[in-house]
């Protein structure tokens, strides 16, 4: 079954009007592959601005985080309803930086995921192990635990994309080899088959999210269970277009 190639761009806490306009204009004017779905996720303050700039049909905009409530006395949080109102179609949840810096545990990520899906946005669900967990040989145990929390809350996975992000590779310049990433992705899909059924598991897209860049993205091209990338720093650079087109 052919899964549509998916590339997410996580700008993190970076950018201003000038730089975001440059990023979007590169996408707008590039000859992008038709069989790819691109979601760019600027800081929340620039979601509306970014939506207004995008004019490519396969490019949409997402948020980097949302809360468990649509509104209320939750200072500083992002509402699903509000990012939808601005034109966002997706949200990144469970990113390692949210888990580490803001102490979001598996249960919080699962609850956020359910709330976002129930309220009409797709979820890029991040999972992955730290360097210590990798060295301890418990990578699969970690990602299965993270997934089990979401499986307990979410029954329909149609609008979920999973991003496997080895935490040890984020922002370090290190990356899993394409072969290693394929092995992990295949194991994740096998686990999902046992939990949510073969059809849903075969349809779900599993992205690689560990320092993917214009230099290494082509090495992942023919890997059966790698359905795209969640890109961090490289999404701010011209090479992002190369990543989007890496399967052309």
| pLDDT above 80 for 76 | yes
pTM for this structure?
0.96
Is 165 catalytic? The answer is yes
Report the alpha-carbon distance of residue 227 to residue 225 in Å, rounded: 6
Residue 2 within a domain: no
Is 133 catalytic? The answer is no
Residue 1 within a domain: no
Which is more confidently placed, 3 or 1?
Answer: 3
pLDDT band at residue 45 using 50, 70 and 90 as cut-offs: very high
Q: Tell me what pLDDT residue 27 has.
A: 98
Using only C-alpha atoms, the chain has a radius of gyration, in whole angstroms, of 17
Summarised one tens digit per residue, pLDDT across range 106-164 is 999 999 999 999 999 999 999 999 989 988 999 999 999 999 999 999 999 999 999 99
Look up the CATH number of the domain holding residue 126.
Answer: 3.20.20.70
| pLDDT above 90 for 93 | yes
Of residues 12, 32, 60, 28, the one with CA closest to residue 243: 32
Print the SS3 string covering the chain: CCCCEEEEEECCCCCCHHHHHHHHHHHHHCCCCCCEEEEEECCHHHHHHHHHHCCCCCEEEEECCCCCCCCCCCCCCCCHHHHHHCCCCEEEECCHHHHHHCCCCHHHHHHHHHHHHHCCCEEEEEECCCHHHHHCCCHHHHHHHHHHHHHCCCCCCCCEEEEECCHHHCCCCCCCCHHHHHHHHHHHHHHHHHHHCHHHHHHCEEEECCCCCCCCHHHHCCCCCCCEEEECHHHHCCHHHHHHCCCC
| pLDDT above 90 for 203 | yes
Contact between residue 220 and residue 6 where contact means Cβ atoms under 8 Å apart: no
Give the list of residues 6+ apart from residue 138 with CB closer than 8 angstroms, or none. 129
Tokens of 50: 């970014």
Q: Tell me what pLDDT residue 183 has.
A: 95
Residue 17 within a domain: yes
pLDDT band at residue 177 using 50, 70 and 90 as cut-offs: confident
pLDDT band at residue 1 using 50, 70 and 90 as cut-offs: low
Q: How many Cα atoms occupy the beta-carbon half-sphere of 129 within 13 Å?
A: 19
Residue 156 within a domain: yes
Which of 37, 95, 104, 185 is catalytic? The answer is 95
| pLDDT above 90 for 206 | yes
Residue 72 within a domain: no
Q: Tell me what pLDDT residue 230 has.
A: 97
Residue 161 within a domain: yes
| pLDDT above 80 for 82 | yes
Tokens of 166: 């080895």
Residue 113 within a domain: yes
| pLDDT above 90 for 75 | yes
pLDDT band at residue 38 using 50, 70 and 90 as cut-offs: very high
Domain count, the chain: 1
Averaged pLDDT of the chain: 95
Report the alpha-carbon distance of residue 1 to residue 76 in Å, rounded: 42
**Average confidence (pLDDT) over 12-41:** 97
Which of 37, 97, 144, 165 is catalytic? The answer is 165
**Owning domain of residue 223:** 7-67+77-244
**Average confidence (pLDDT) over 76-85:** 98
| pLDDT above 80 for 175 | no
Give the list of residues 6+ apart from residue 163 with CB closer than 8 angstroms, or none. 8, 92, 124, 125, 126, 127, 206, 207, 208, 209, 230
Residue 88 within a domain: yes
């Amino acid at each position: 079954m052919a899964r549509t190639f998916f590339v997410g761009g996580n700008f993190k806490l970076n950018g201003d009007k000038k730089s975001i306009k440059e990023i979007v204009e590169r996408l707008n004017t590039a000859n992008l592959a038709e069989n790819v779905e691109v979601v760019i996720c600027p800081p929340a303050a620039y979601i509306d601005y970014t939506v207004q700039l995008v004019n490519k049909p396969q490019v949409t905009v997402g948020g980097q985080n949302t809360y468990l409530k649509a509104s209320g006395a939750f200072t500083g949080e992002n509402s699903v309803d509000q990012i939808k109102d601005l034109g966002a179609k997706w949200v990144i949840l469970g990113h390692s930086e949210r888990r580490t810096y803001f102490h979001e545990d598996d249960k919080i990520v699962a609850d956020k995921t359910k709330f976002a899906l129930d309220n009409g946005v797709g979820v890029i669900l991040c999972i992955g192990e730290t360097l210590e967990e990798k060295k301890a040989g418990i990578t699969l145990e970690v990602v299965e635990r993270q997934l089990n929390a979401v499986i307990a809350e979410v029954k329909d996975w149609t609008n979920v994309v999973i991003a496997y992000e080895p935490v040890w590779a984020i922002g370090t310049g290190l990356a899993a080899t394409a072969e290693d990433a394929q092995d992990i992705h295949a194991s994740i899909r096998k686990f999902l088959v046992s939990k949510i059924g073969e059809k849903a598991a075969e349809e779900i897209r599993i992205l690689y999210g560990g320092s993917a860049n214009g230099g290494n993205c082509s090495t992942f091209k023919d890997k059966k269970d790698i359905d795209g990338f969640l890109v961090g720093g490289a999404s701010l650079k011209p090479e992002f277009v190369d990543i989007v087109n890496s399967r052309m």
